[in-house]
Amino acid sequence: MPIENIPEIYIKDDNKNPDVFVYDFKMVSDVVKSKVNLSMNMFSFLQVGKKQVHFAGTSVAVNRDQSLLLKKGNWLWTELLDTEAEYYCKLLFFSEKVLKNFLEKHTKNNITVKEESPYFTIKNDAYISSYLNSLSAINEIPMALNENLLAIKFEELMLYLLQKYGQKFEFYLHSLIIEKSSPFKKIIESKIHSNLKLEEIAFLCNMSLSTFKRHFIKEYNVSPGKWLQDKRLNKAKELLEENTSTPSDIYLDFGYNNLSNFSTAFKNKFGVSPNQIVNQKQTHFSS
């Protein structure tokens, strides 16, 4: 799957590098784990549909009741239709320049950020709805005036969110301008129990697949495929032994395309099939 460079693919004029940019993203079919190189921090105001984003160390899922502020970086996006036939998300991008100007003007500059996150979740309310309507109205006016108004609208939104979320939001904004790379092991170990493929985990680490494999073997002295399979099968066995899941419930969650492949890998590792684990537990409980 090709990497999408966002917002560059949405900007019609190649010579333009706007500090604040709005784009109405719409689609009529699901997109699962598309690779996105996000070069600007971005608000994602979901209007219709469902959205999930995989980051280097975590993931988040939202519906139309929530919006996201996303840190720039390499992420995997899943965007799904809901009951309607169209997915619609209003995106608001902003440069580090306008963010720094805002922080200098409206916040304390001696803040020490102890914790970083690639996203901030915003609860949608009447103000957010009204704000999005005003952004739509701005799109109808000439470009020169549009840019000036968007700069003002950006400041308005940030002031509102500062008032709504206080110090928590202030700290988050400061974290957006701190350059710190995520430790390799932290990323890997946060994805042990996901269904992401090696290629997708490599992308989140900002590496090619071949570089990722070399780096992995250097860190763990084993191939990433074998290491992840062992970790995931151990977790699957644990879930089956707890009698909270069946094999058909969990095989997709651990990266297997079908139940047969999962059962074969499971039996090769443990000497018994997943169903035998479940049946043993059920026999134990009924006796």
Q: 4-175: which CATH topology?
A: Jelly Rolls (2.60.120)
Mean pLDDT of 244-260: 86
Residues 81/86/90/93 CA torsion (nearest 10 deg): 70
Mean pLDDT of 199-220: 91
> Tokens 């109205």 sit at which residue?
137
Q: With helix as H, strand as E and coil as C, how does 143-161 read?
A: HHHHHHHHHHHHHHHHHHH
Structure tokens at 143: 């470009």
Neighbour tally for 251: CB within 10 Å = 23
Q: Which residue has the higher pLDDT, 9 or 108?
A: 9
DSSP 135: H
Q: What residue spans define the domains of the chain?
A: 4-175, 184-286
Q: 184-286: which CATH topology?
A: Arc Repressor Mutant, subunit A (1.10.10)
Q: Which residues contact 170 (CB under 8 A, 6 or more apart)?
A: 107, 108, 111, 162
Nearest-angstrom CA–CA distance, 148 and 159: 17
The answer, yes or no, to whether the previous bond of 7 is cis (omega within 30 of 0) is yes
pLDDT 10s digits, 122-161 = 999 999 999 999 998 887 776 666 788 999 999 999 999 9
pLDDT score of 117 more than 60: yes
The total number of residues written for the chain in this structure: 287
Q: Please give the distance of CA 227 from its chain centroid, rounded to a whole number.
A: 24
DSSP letter for each residue of 207-274: --HHHHHHHHHHHHSS-HHHHHHHHHHHHHHHHHHTTS--HHHHTGGGT-SSHHHHHHHHHHHHSS-H
Q: What is the pLDDT of residue 287?
A: 44
pLDDT score of 87 more than 80: yes
